[in-house]
């Protein structure tokens, strides 16, 4: 049996595909190598959504070729552009054929080249999986989308929407939580179109809001993170989706892309909604769920974007104040309509991205500082640096949780003293809604625990004392909850 190393680019859907391929290879007796130097075969699960991803792919393939490494190239690049020069001489497996990764690896080990790029929609929820983080189950609820955005190459790789049945999804999640998963990530190219293909196939009507209700009915403790959904489809189920988000098992986190604040540019992108639609969605969610975390995506420098168009985007960001803004400089992707348009000047595009980034930092810091003084549960799902742990609160805010080790002399602190003291500046109420602050009688005193204790998968009761543009800082106030 062989040793396999995975390189995974891109979104959580791609990460889910890698976990499935790793699970299949493990079942076949292969081992997974942490270091590519120790691997007999490299599986490169590629991404085609942004220019920097393509640039990294080219650089890495040159490196692997110079080393004479055997490689299987998976993901969006071979599916959307099988004639790409950097794929030559390697086995290829597309986004529809990941269940055949065992065949691809075995043929490659034998010195053969195999190409598996057929387009056949089939479920992937009943396949083996090797979770990268045992606490997080990534569930691809559908493949593809229903849009035809002029800048997007991913549609060429993932195709039209093919939704998995709610029964399959519930069964997959039920199994995962029995195995110890605490976070369920619902992922796809556009979660908003989930189930819209069912009516065309004579199946019972289903949408994302209804699916969430089915998922939340699963017994056991877990939290659901809903991935990106486009405004066009959120609008059609706005009331139902807000209701579903109010379920305590759903993270109060909404990822809805704007891309541009100009209706003219949105039309040129073929996005299917207006800037006012985006604002309406954000206003409604914030009215119904005041402490919800909002994430959005912005493209700077789309070919038809003028200074006036960009100014409109900036104004909407100031009005809606998203907690997270994923900023991309436009990159012409081969084969897309936008690549044939007259391109924006690089220096101007760079300046717009810089201006948007500065605005984002300001908004994010102000938003996160509002959480100072908040007390509540944080689910620990990652080990941090210098004796810290990382986790998420109910609004999917990342919280860096300090322990005794953080204050050790080696880290500039005072060893032997409690690290979880009250912060005088935050001793009364937080800037978040009172509904999400515990009653005064339930606010707990500082607690000290062994910093070497493994907190992964546990809930800790934390008091936030400050924010940064990317996270919150907190100190534990109670004894650690047992698993």
Out of 1.25.40, 2.40.50, 1.10.3470, 2.60.40, select the CATH number for domain 375-476. Answer: 2.40.50
Q: Return mean pLDDT, the chain.
A: 87
Backbone angles phi, psi at 382, to 5 degrees: -160, 145
Pick the closest to residue 401 from 428, 424, 420 (CA basis). Answer: 420
What pLDDT is attached to residue 203?
A: 62
Q: Is residue 349 pLDDT above 60, yes or no?
A: yes
CA distance 110 to 455: 44
CATH superfamily of 136-369: tm_1862 like domain (3.80.30.20)
Cα–Cα distances (Å) from 390 to 225, 299, 370, 381, 476, in that order, read 16, 30, 19, 6, 12
What pLDDT is attached to residue 21?
A: 95
Q: Is residue 405 pLDDT above 80, yes or no?
A: no
Q: Is residue 223 pLDDT above 70, yes or no?
A: yes
Residue given tokens 């924010």 in the structure block: 467
Q: Is residue 263 pLDDT above 50, yes or no?
A: yes
What is the three-class DSSP state of 146?
Answer: coil
What pLDDT is attached to residue 141?
A: 96
- Mean pLDDT of the 403-416 span: 42
DSSP conformation letters of 369-432:
HTTTT-EEEEEEEEE-STT-EEEE-TT--EEEEE-GGGGSGGGTS-TTS-S----GGGSS--SS
- Sheet order of strands, 293-300 included: 253-255, 293-300, 324-329
CA distance 352 to 348: 6
CA distance 17 to 30: 17
The ranges assigned to domains in the chain are 3-116, 136-369, 375-476
pLDDT in tens, 425-465: 333 334 565 555 444 334 444 433 344 568 889 999 999 99
Fold classification of 3-116 is: Rossmann fold (3.40.50)
* Range of lowest pLDDT (18-32, 38-52, 335-349, 429-443): 429-443
CA distance 473 to 423: 12
Cα angle 66, 99, 173 (rounded to 5 degrees) comes to: 120
* Residue 103 pLDDT grade (very low, low, confident, very high; cuts 50, 70, 90): very high
Higher-confidence position of 431 and 416: 431
Q: Is residue 408 pLDDT above 70, yes or no?
A: no
Contacts of 48 (CB under 8 A, 6+ apart): 54, 75, 76, 77, 80, 81, 153, 154, 156, 157, 333
CA distance 155 to 163: 15
Helices (H), 246-375: 263-269, 275-288, 307-320, 346-369
* Residue 224 pLDDT grade (very low, low, confident, very high; cuts 50, 70, 90): very high
CA distance 10 to 184: 19
Helices (H), 70-162: 76-80, 101-109, 154-158
């Amino acid at each position: 049996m062989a040793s396999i190393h995975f390189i995974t680019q891109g979104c959580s859907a791609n990460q889910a595909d890698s976990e499935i391929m790793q699970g299949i290879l493990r079942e076949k007796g292969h081992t997974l190598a942490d270091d590519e130097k120790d691997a007999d075969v490299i599986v490169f699960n590629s991404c085609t959504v942004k220019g920097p991803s393509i640039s990294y792919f080219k650089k890495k393939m040159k490196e692997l070729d110079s080393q004479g490494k055997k490689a299987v190239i998976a993901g969006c690049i071979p599916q959307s552009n099988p004639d790409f020069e950097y794929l030559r001489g390697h086995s290829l497996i597309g986004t529809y054929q990941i269940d055949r990764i065992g065949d691809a690896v075995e043929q490659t080990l034998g010195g053969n080249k195999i190409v598996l790029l057929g387009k056949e929609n089939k479920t992937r929820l009943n396949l083996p999986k090797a979770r990268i983080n045992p606490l997080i189950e990534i569930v691809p609820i559908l493949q593809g989308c229903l849009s035809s955005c002029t800048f997007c190459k991913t549609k060429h790789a993932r195709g039209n929407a093919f939704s998995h049945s709610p029964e399959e999804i519930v069964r997959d999640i039920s199994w995962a939580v029995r195995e110890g998963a605490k976070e369920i990530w619902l992922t796809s190219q556009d979660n908003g179109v989930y189930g819209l293909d069912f009516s065309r196939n004579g199946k019972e009507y289903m949408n994302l809001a209804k699916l969430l209700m089915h998922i939340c009915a699963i017994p056991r403790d877990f939290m659901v993170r809903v991935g990106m959904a486009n405004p066009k489809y959120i609008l059609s189920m706005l009331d139902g989706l807000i209701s579903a988000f109010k379920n305590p098992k759903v993270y109060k986190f909404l990822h809805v892309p704007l891309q541009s604040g100009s209706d003219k540019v949105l039309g040129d992108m073929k996005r299917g909604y207006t800037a006012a639609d985006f604002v309406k969605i954000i206003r409604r969610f914030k009215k119904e769920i005041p402490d919800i975390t909002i994430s959005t995506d912005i493209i700077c420098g789309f070919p038809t974007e003028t200074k006036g168009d960009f100014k409109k985007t900036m104004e909407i960001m100031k009005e809606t104040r998203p907690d997270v803004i994923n900023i991309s400089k436009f990159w012409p992707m081969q084969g897309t309509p936008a690549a044939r348009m007259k391109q924006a000047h690089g220096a101007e595009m760079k300046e717009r991205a810089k201006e948007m980034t500065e605005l984002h930092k300001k908004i994010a810091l102000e938003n996160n500082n509002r959480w100072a003084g908040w007390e509540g549960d944080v689910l620990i799902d990652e080990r941090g640096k210098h004796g810290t742990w990382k986790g998420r609160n109910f609004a999917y805010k990342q919280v860096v949780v300090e322990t005794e080790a953080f204050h050790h002399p080696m880290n500039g602190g005072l060893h032997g003293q409690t690290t979880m003291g009250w912060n005088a500046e935050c001793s009364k109420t937080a800037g978040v809604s009172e509904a999400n602050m515990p009653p005064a009688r339930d606010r707990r005193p500082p607690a000290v625990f062994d910093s070497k204790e493994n907190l992964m998968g546990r809930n800790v009761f934390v008091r936030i004392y400050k924010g940064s543009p990317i996270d919150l800082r907190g100190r534990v106030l109670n004894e650690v909850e047992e698993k």
